[in-house]
Amino acid sequence: MIKRAMILAAGFGKRVHPLTLERPKPLLKIGNETLLSNTLKFLETSGVKEVVINTHYLKEQIIDYVKKNKFNLTINIVEENNKILGTGGGVLNALKYFSNENFLIINPDTIWNSNYLKDLELMEKIFFENKKSKCILLLVNKKKSFDKSFKGDFNLENNIISKKNKENLNYLYTGLQIIKPETFSNINMNIFSINKIWNNLIKFNEFYGAESNLDFLHVSTLDIYKRLLEKYFKY
């Protein structure tokens, strides 16, 4: 079981303007909780014990939120002060917290729930059974996405991720992955997207995926956020 995780919370949330002009996207409310608390509670139930949260945009609000709310987790905040480092650079910058252990990376703008625990179990099974595996993503068929504008990120066959048929990519990244720290060992830059890591793994057939059958609820745009609230969180 994976015991450590990183939440990517440094971004600007521009697609949810104007709501994110004064608050970071992870602190948007869904029902009676924030996206960040939803993610932290999911990690609690998964058995994770230690969490790293990277911050940049309106970072003081996230730091303050974590201080004021209690979670059964050890939480470390990593501040990206001068420049945002990207999804890959942010993880590389926080790597010291994982002590060469495999860890989760999770996006807080997916609406997680306890049904994803079985998906995480499947991910761990595939990840640990395949010696070549350095990273595994939780994917979902784009037909299961609440936001129908997504084009698709990958193809998935026999738990191997590819981009073979770029005109017909049927799977979306849900925002949950397991990765080995050594995957970052040959990176010689500070600011980069984690897509750089993924594309390299695809070349060597070392990029694994597990398929979720759950409906994919993701806060992608202002319109989608409003529609999600109306459909799932209206009281």
**Domain formed by 4-232, architecture:** Alpha-Beta Complex (3.90)
Q: pLDDT tens digits for 167-201?
A: 789 999 999 999 999 999 988 899 999 999 999 99
The pairing of strands 171-179 and 103-106 is antiparallel
pLDDT digits (tens, 9 = 90+) for 123-150: 999 999 998 899 999 999 999 999 999 9
- Tell me the residue type at 133: S
DSSP conformation class of 218: B
State how far the alpha carbon of 43 is from the alpha carbons of 15, 47, 97, 120, 159, in Å.
26, 7, 17, 10, 24
**For residues 224-234, average pLDDT:** 95
Is the pLDDT assigned to residue 164 strictly greater than 90? Answer: no
- Nearest residue to 172 via CA among 154, 159, 156, 158: 154
Q: What is the three-class DSSP state of 105?
A: strand
Give the Cα separation of 68 and 84 in Å (integer): 25
Q: Confirm if 158 and 205 have CB atoms less than 8 A apart.
A: no
Q: Is the pLDDT of residue 165 over 90?
A: no
* Token output for 221: 């745009």
Rounded average pLDDT over 57-67: 97
Q: Which residue in the block uniquely carries the two structure tokens 């925002």? A: 175
In terms of pTM, does the model score above 0.75?
Answer: yes
Average pLDDT over residues 47-66: 98
Q: What are phi and psi of 190, to 5 degrees?
A: -100, -30
Query: Is the separation of the CB atoms in 119 and 207 below 8 Å?
Result: no
CA distance 122 to 220: 26
pLDDT value for 106: 98
Which pLDDT belongs to residue 183?
95
Give me the chain's average pLDDT, please.
Answer: 96
pLDDT at position 235: 61
Strands 135-141 and 155-157: unpaired
